[in-house]
């Protein structure tokens, strides 16, 4: 197991820790290497947690999740296009989307199974799948098609060991969303080949362009789809560790059994605060979405005139992919140079898979003015790297 969980999920953050250490020692470092919102949790949610604590919510809670929270999650899920009959019995509350993904994988995958995943993919997927003894079957995406998966490639990967397709929409790191048409084709694949569809939808409340589609609402899909989400990003609640899975009732029973031997339920007062987040904080959510949209636009605008780097405009989320292929450096080498010489930290695309090797990922987690400053440093770094690589490649006279 230790080997199977030791990949990029564990090591991708090293550059982030280096950047934090340098910032702590007083250096002017702009940290864009992690998706942790810079905003604090909205006060109404904090107040709900405090008042719940004061009223004695300090005991074990229902292991599947407190019924009012599961009902609130089911309503939230239906309001985002989820299956119209999804109710509290279809929800399991877990410690963040990460824990929900891990628990779902443990309950669905067996050793030898294959799980089809487009790549680039969020850094933990590999370890989550491998921890069960299953194997990820990566489907490389192309920057030339904006990292959009092609359904025929997913289809071609299906074989006798295939157990599930794992998709992340809106996507980290690319910020792309699957269209209604793509979901319909993917749903047909799952039905025809008897596959589970696992959807990581943590950025579904942060869509700028377009609408979120929830494939469990498509015919014949609610019995084979698990939708995973959390409050971490949408409500600036990464540290609260509150997420969930929505899926068939029988699967929920297995998740509860796993939660019984792993967590014994999520903290009661945090669940009460989560109800407040889902029911009473729509304005906070709008502000959050607008803030990321403005920041995205600030990066696009600042880098628009660059002749070295290009941006891939995200339709959602809090990240942005920057194409650094023209610098002649690998993304790892470029990210190191950007931090060491220009004081900006970003993740190298390779952390998400080989297909993103020519890209770095910026997190939109500092105010727009600071992002513009980061982009200017990034552009200077790219120009210098390109000039150095060209010099190195020049034939000797
Ligand atoms: N999936 C994706 C795509 C993510 O970006 C993250 C990180 N926020 C997670 C899952 C884990 O989220 P959480 O903080 O809710 O565990
Ligand atoms: N999901 C966040 C990201 O992609 C961060 C999660 C973490 O800190 N491990 O950056």
Rounded Cα gap, residues 227 and 224, in angstroms: 10
Rounded Cα gap, residues 67 and 222, in angstroms: 21
Edge-to-edge strand order for the sheet containing 359-363?
310-312, 319-323, 359-363, 347-348
Helix (H) or strand (E) holding 279: helix 268-280
Domains 8-40+283-386 and 43-280 fall in the same CATH topology: no
Rounded Cα gap, residues 14 and 21, in angstroms: 11
- Report the separation in Å between the CA atom of 7 and the middle of ligand 2, taken as the mean of its atom positions: 15
* Residue 343 backbone class (left: φ over 0; alpha: ψ -120 to 50; beta: rest): left
Q: How many residues does the chain have?
A: 397
pLDDT at 394 over 80: no
Average model confidence (pLDDT) for the chain? Answer: 96
pLDDT at 103 over 70: yes
Question: Model confidence over 123-169: pLDDT tens digits?
Answer: 999 999 999 999 999 999 999 999 999 999 999 999 999 999 999 99
359 in Cβ contact with 324 (< 8 Å): yes
Question: Model confidence over 198-240: pLDDT tens digits?
Answer: 999 999 999 998 889 999 999 999 999 999 999 999 999 999 9
User: In CATH, which of 3.50.50.60, 3.40.50.2300, 3.40.50.620, 3.40.640.10 is domain 43-280?
Assistant: 3.40.640.10
Q: Which residues pair with 319 in a beta bridge?
A: 363
Q: Which residues contact 198 (CB under 8 A, 6 or more apart)?
A: 101, 104, 105, 108, 164, 165, 166, 167, 225, 226, 228
Model pLDDT, residue 396: 65
Question: Model confidence over 185-195: pLDDT tens digits?
Answer: 999 999 999 99
Pocket test for ligand 1, best of 9, 16, 101, 122 (most atoms within 8 A of CB): 122
Question: Model confidence over 280-307: pLDDT tens digits?
Answer: 877 888 999 999 999 999 999 999 999 9
- Report the separation in Å between the CA atom of 120 and the middle of ligand 1, taken as the mean of its atom positions: 15
- Report the separation in Å between the CA atom of 144 and the middle of ligand 1, taken as the mean of its atom positions: 26
Q: Where are the domains of the chain?
A: 8-40+283-386, 43-280
Model pLDDT, residue 9: 67
Model pLDDT, residue 6: 85
Instruction: Give nearest CA residue, ligand 2 atom 3.
Output: 35
Instruction: Give, to the nearest 10 degrees, the angle between helix 368-393 and helix 282-303.
Output: 30
- Report the separation in Å between the CA atom of 363 and the middle of ligand 2, taken as the mean of its atom positions: 10
pLDDT at 246 over 70: yes
Q: 12 CB less than 6 Å from ligand 2?
A: no
Predicted complex ipTM = 0.96
Model pLDDT, residue 397: 61
Instruction: Give nearest CA residue, ligand 2 atom 8.
Output: 34
Calculate the alpha carbon distances from 374 to 104, 161, 171, 351, 384 in Å: 38, 46, 23, 21, 15
Question: Model confidence over 171-182: pLDDT tens digits?
Answer: 999 999 999 999
- Ligand index nearest the alpha carbon of residue 199: 1
- Report the separation in Å between the CA atom of 168 and the middle of ligand 2, taken as the mean of its atom positions: 14
Instruction: Give nearest CA residue, ligand 2 atom 6.
Output: 35
pLDDT at 256 over 90: yes
- Report the separation in Å between the CA atom of 228 and the middle of ligand 1, taken as the mean of its atom positions: 10
pLDDT at 170 over 70: yes
Instruction: Give nearest CA residue, ligand 1 atom 5.
Output: 172
Q: Which residues contact 124 (CB under 8 A, 6 or more apart)?
A: 9, 98, 101
- Find the residues whose C-beta lies inside 6 A of ligand 1: 35, 96-98, 122, 168, 172, 200, 202, 230, 232-233, 238, 243
- Report the separation in Å between the CA atom of 123 and the middle of ligand 2, taken as the mean of its atom positions: 8
Report the atom number in ligand 2 closest to the C-alpha of 33.
10
Mapping DSSP to helix (H, G, I), strand (E, B) and coil, where does residue 5 land?
coil
Rounded Cα gap, residues 279 and 178, in angstroms: 27
User: In CATH, which of 3.90.1150.10, 3.90.230.10, 3.40.640.10, 3.60.20.10 is domain 8-40+283-386?
Assistant: 3.90.1150.10
pLDDT at 390 over 90: no
Pocket test for ligand 2, best of 14, 31, 36 (most atoms within 8 A of CB): 36
Distance between alpha carbon 286 and the CA centroid of its chain, in Å?
19
Report the atom number in ligand 2 closest to the C-alpha of 202.
1
77 in Cβ contact with 86 (< 8 Å): yes
Pocket test for ligand 1, best of 167, 232, 238 (most atoms within 8 A of CB): 232
Report the atom number in ligand 1 closest to the C-alpha of 229.
15
Instruction: Give nearest CA residue, ligand 2 atom 1.
Output: 35
pLDDT at 273 over 80: yes
Question: Model confidence over 302-351: pLDDT tens digits?
Answer: 999 999 999 999 999 999 999 999 999 999 999 999 999 999 999 999 99
């Amino acid at each position: 197991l230790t080997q199977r969980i030791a990949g990029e999920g564990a090591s991708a953050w090293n550059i982030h820790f280096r950047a934090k250490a340098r910032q702590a020692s007083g250096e002017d470092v702009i940290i864009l290497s992690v998706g942790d919102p810079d905003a604090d949790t909205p006060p109404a949610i904090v107040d709900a947690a405090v008042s719940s604590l004061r009223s004695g919510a300090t005991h074990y809670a229902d292991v599947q999740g407190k019924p009012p929270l599961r009902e609130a999650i089911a309503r939230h899920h239906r309001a985002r296009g989820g299956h119209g009959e999804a109710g509290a019995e279809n929800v399991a509350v877990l410690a963040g989307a990460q824990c929900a993904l891990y628990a779902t994988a443990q309950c669905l995958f067996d050793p030898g199974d294959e799980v089809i995943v487009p790549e680039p993919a969020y850094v933990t997927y590999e370890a989550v799948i491998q921890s069960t003894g299953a194997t990820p079957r990566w489907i490389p995406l192309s920057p030339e098609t904006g990292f959009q998966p092609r359904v025929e490639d997913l289809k071609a990967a299906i074989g006798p060991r295939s157990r599930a397709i794992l998709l992340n929409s809106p996507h980290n790191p690319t910020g792309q969303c699957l269209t209604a048409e793509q979901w319909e084709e993917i749903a047909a694949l799952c039905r025809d080949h008897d596959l589970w569809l696992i959807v990581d939808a943590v950025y579904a409340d942060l869509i700028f362009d377009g609408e979120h589609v929830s494939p469990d609402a498509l015919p014949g899909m609610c019995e084979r789809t698990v939708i995973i989400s959390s409050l971490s990003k949408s409500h600036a609640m990464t540290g609260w560790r509150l997420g969930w899975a929505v899926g068939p009732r029988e699967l929920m029973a297995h998740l509860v059994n796993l939660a019984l031997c792993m967590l014994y339920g999520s903290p009661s007062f945090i669940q009460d605060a989560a109800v407040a987040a889902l029911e009473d904080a729509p304005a906070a959510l709008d502000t959050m979405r607008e803030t990321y949209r403005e920041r995205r636009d600030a990066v696009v605008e600042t880098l628009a005139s660059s002749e070295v780097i290009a941006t891939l405009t995200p339709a959602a989320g809090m990240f942005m992919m920057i194409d650094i292929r023209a610098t002649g450096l690998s993304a790892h080498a470029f990210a190191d140079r950007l931090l060491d010489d220009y004081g900006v930290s970003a993740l190298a695309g390779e952390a998400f898979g080989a297909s993103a090797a020519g890209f770095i990922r910026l997190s939109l987690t500092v105010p727009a003015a600071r992002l513009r400053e980061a982009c200017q440093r990034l552009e200077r770094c790219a120009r210098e790297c390109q000039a150095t690589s060209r010099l190195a490649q020049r034939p000797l006279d």
